[in-house]
């Protein structure tokens, strides 16, 4: 059976819907593992954004007449379990914060690639409004990734200057 552009968009949206819902569950756990105030605040802020991103996806399922369903994404799940599982083994607060940032960045970059793919499918289908909505989410992921990258730099400089 041939797969259409719309099928590909629907599958991608369902994976993204699964991912955003999983992140909504995972971010509070990552916040608990974090120590640095700025990191906890950044993750908390992104948690609220993630909830909005989930609502945006629901609106797109509706407006395009697609099936609002979560489709498990094994690649993403392995990213999350790798990050979450590893954190428990780290005792040092600073190292744990650096590992939280690394885990969060892996997720953010994977989301950025997936949102860009969804935007492309929307544009190929002529769903310009939906593409614009997804661009908002992509922009938020990019800003989050930039913020975490800068925070990692700040944390590293603070340690280097202590030596």
Q: Least Å distance between CB 93 and Fe ion?
A: 26
Q: Residues 121-132, buried b or exposed e (16+ Cβ, 10 A)?
A: bbeebebeebbe
Would you give the binding string for Fe ion spanning residues 89-128, x where CB under 5 A is met? Answer: ----------------------x-----------------
Q: Least Å distance between CB 107 and Fe ion?
A: 8
Q: Least Å distance between CB 135 and Fe ion?
A: 13
Which one of the spans 24-32, 45-53, 63-71, 86-94 is the region binding Fe ion (CB under 5 A)? 45-53
CA distance 4 to 153: 44
HSE toward the beta carbon, residue 38, CA cutoff 13 A: 13
Contacts with 121 (C-beta within 8 Å, 6 or more apart), sequence order: 5, 8, 9, 12
The answer to whether residue 22 forms part of the interface with Fe ion (CB under 5 A) is no
Which one of the spans 9-17, 25-33, 46-54, 70-78 is the region binding Fe ion (CB under 5 A)? 46-54
Q: Which is nearer to Fe ion, 90 or 142 (CB)?
A: 142
Q: Least Å distance between CB 10 and Fe ion?
A: 19
CA distance 117 to 134: 10
Q: For residue 52, give both structure tokens.
A: 């909005």
Would you give the binding string for Fe ion spanning residues 51-70, x where CB under 5 A is met? Answer: --x-----------------
CB 121 within 8 Å of CB 157: no
Q: Which is nearer to Fe ion, 48 or 92 (CB)?
A: 48
CA distance 119 to 129: 10
**Residues engaged in binding Fe ion (CB under 5 A):** 50, 53, 111
């Amino acid at each position: 059976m041939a797969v259409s552009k719309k099928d590909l968009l629907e599958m991608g949206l369902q994976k993204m819907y699964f991912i955003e819902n999983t992140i909504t569950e995972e971010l509070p756990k990552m916040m608990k593992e974090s120590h640095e105030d700025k990191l906890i605040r950044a993750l908390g802020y992104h948690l609220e954004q993630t909830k909005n991103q989930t609502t945006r996806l629901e609106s797109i399922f509706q407006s395009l007449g697609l099936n609002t369903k979560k489709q498990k994404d094994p690649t993403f799940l392995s990213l999350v379990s790798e990050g979450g599982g590893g954190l428990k083994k780290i005792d040092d607060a600073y190292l744990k914060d650096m590992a939280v940032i690394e885990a969060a960045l892996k997720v953010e970059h994977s989301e950025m690639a997936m949102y860009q793919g969804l935007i492309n499918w929307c544009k190929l289908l002529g769903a310009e409004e939906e593409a614009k909505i997804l661009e908002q989410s992509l922009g938020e992921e990019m800003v989050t990734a930039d913020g975490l990258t800068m925070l990692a730099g700040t944390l590293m400089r603070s340690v280097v200057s202590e030596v």
